[in-house]
Structure 1
Amino acid sequence: MSTANLIVHLTERSLWEEARARGTYEISTRGRTLQEEGFIHCSTREQLPGTAARFFAGVPDLVVLVIDPARLDVPLKYEAPAPGAEEFPHVYGPIPVDAVVDVEPWG
């Protein structure tokens, strides 16, 4: 498995623990579900600090889900939030817990 292809998703530890029990992860971003947003927001390693600062400032007990796109059974698309903006990986469906190859503490 090449680490260059891995994507990451920042979340609260409690939400990840609930997903592990359920078998799939379905939170798009802080305060928004996959059902509400239509996809799960992810990042590259390089994008993660900016994502953390913008959406998770002051949130305790965060973890980084390290996701292997080869283990996803739903579409992954790199898309920009606005024309000309940086592209981010978006997962169009639930993330199976076995696609998460590592969980790292953040901060």
Structure 2
Amino acid sequence: METIYCLCPKTYWESFAGRDQYVPRDYDQEGFIHATKGDELLCRVANRVYADFTGELCVLVVAEDQVSATVKYEMAKDGLRYPHIYGPLNIDAILDVRRMEKREGSWTIGPSIR
């Protein structure tokens, strides 16, 4: 089973408790859900996108083959291909929710919070 990751501020994620689908705050503007694949790339993206973020950050661990919406791998500005989810993310495709921890100024993957 292939997994992909979606980063999310913890308080925003908690607002989806009891719902069947998740959409990020920028979904209407972007038209898809940003995701990444692989631990190293996840941390690199977290350090770039959330460099100055001081709140609690979590990562949704998603079973790619269980996502109801279309997942397309597309080239980004950094020259790498990322999975983009074109539609709301069905909650039952989320295998785990893990804390992201900032150590010495860099984000790393922490323990499960689910």
Cα RMSD, aligned residues only: 1.5
Higher share of residues assigned strand: 2
Question: 2:37 aligns to what?
Answer: 44
Question: Structure 1 counterpart of 2:68, which letter?
Answer: D
Higher share of residues assigned helix: 1
CA distance in 2, matches of 1:21, 1:37: 25
The runs of at least 4 aligned residues of structure 1 exceeding 6 Å deviation read none
Question: Structure 1 counterpart of 2:42, which letter?
Answer: L
After TM superposition, the score normalised by the length of structure 2 is 0.79
Question: Structure 2 counterpart of 1:44, which letter?
Answer: K
Structure 1: gaps (5+ residues)? none
Comparing 86-95 with 50-59, greater Cα deviation is found at: 50-59
Question: 2:51 aligns to what?
Answer: 57
* Number of residue pairs aligned between Structure 1 and Structure 2: 99
CA distance in 1, matches of 2:58, 2:30: 21
CA distance in 2, matches of 1:33, 1:24: 15
8 Å CA contact 1:9–1:65 kept in 2: the answer is: yes
Structure 2: gaps (5+ residues)? 102-114
